[in-house]
Structure 1
C-alpha cells in the first residue's frame, strides 16, 4: 500500500448502510468491487472502514493518482456494474464525495463570507495570544527559554487554534457562518 500523499492525489469517499443480516453478501460484493476498482486507471489503494455500531455507516476510501481519474471512475461502466446491480438491494443510503487535498484545512469555511471567517478566527485567536504568552513566561521563570519562548508560544497558539479552539468556535457559530 502506498501511503505517501501528493497534492494531485484524489480521494473518493463512499459511505453507505447495509440492511440487516446482509454481511456475507456485502463481503462477497466488496471483494468483487475491489477487484474491479484496482484494475482502473490511476488507482492507488482502497481502505474499508467497517461500521462502529449497528446503525452506523460503512466507509470506503478509494485513492486515485488524480481527481480526473476519480471522475473517470465515477462515469465508468465498471462502477455502474458495481453499484447498479439489482443483487445489491441490501445497500442503502449511499453517498459518494470527492475529497480535494488542496482545500482540506479550510473546507469548514467553504462558501462563507470572508468577514465572517475573519470574525470567527479573531474570536479563536485573541484569547490564545493573551493566555499562551503568559503561560510561556511562567514556564520561562522555571526553565530558561530565551530564544525558544517565541517558538514555543507560536507552536502552542497554532496547535490549540487548529485542534481545539477553531473546531469548537466553528461548531458554536456554524449556523451563522453558513447563512
Structure 2
C-alpha cells in the first residue's frame, strides 16, 4: 500500500529554498529511490518559514528505507545545515487520499464483446480500402500493405473507435 513521508522544514530563507543546491540534490536522490512515486512541495503559508514536502512511496518499507538511508542523512546533516534550522518528520501508512480507488469488477465477456464490436468492422473495411489504394498505385507489397493496415486500424482504435464505443457502452460494461 502507498505510504507517505511528510517533512516540515523550518528554513533560514524560504524564498531561496527551491533554488538551493541542497534541494536539487534531495529531489534527485529521492527520485532514484526504490518505490518512489512522487514528490510534492507545499509552499509556506503567509509569513511562515516552514516548507512542507510530501513524498509518496509504493510501500511503508520503501518510505522507511528512504528515511534511514545514508544518502538522506548526509544531505540533511551536511548539505542542508545552512538552509534548515529545524525539521519535523512523519511516515504515514496507507493514507486514504493516496490509495488507489477500488475498481468495480467488470465482466470480461462484456469487454470482449465491446472490443469485438469495435475491431471487426475495421478488420473488414480497412484492408479492402488499402488494397484498392495499392491497386490504384500499381504497388503490390504484402509487407507494406500489412503495416499500413495495422497502423490505420491501431490509430482508429486508439483515437476514435474505442473512446466512442466505450462511451456508448459505459453503463452496460459496468
TM superposition score normalised by structure 2: 0.49
TM superposition score normalised by structure 1: 0.48
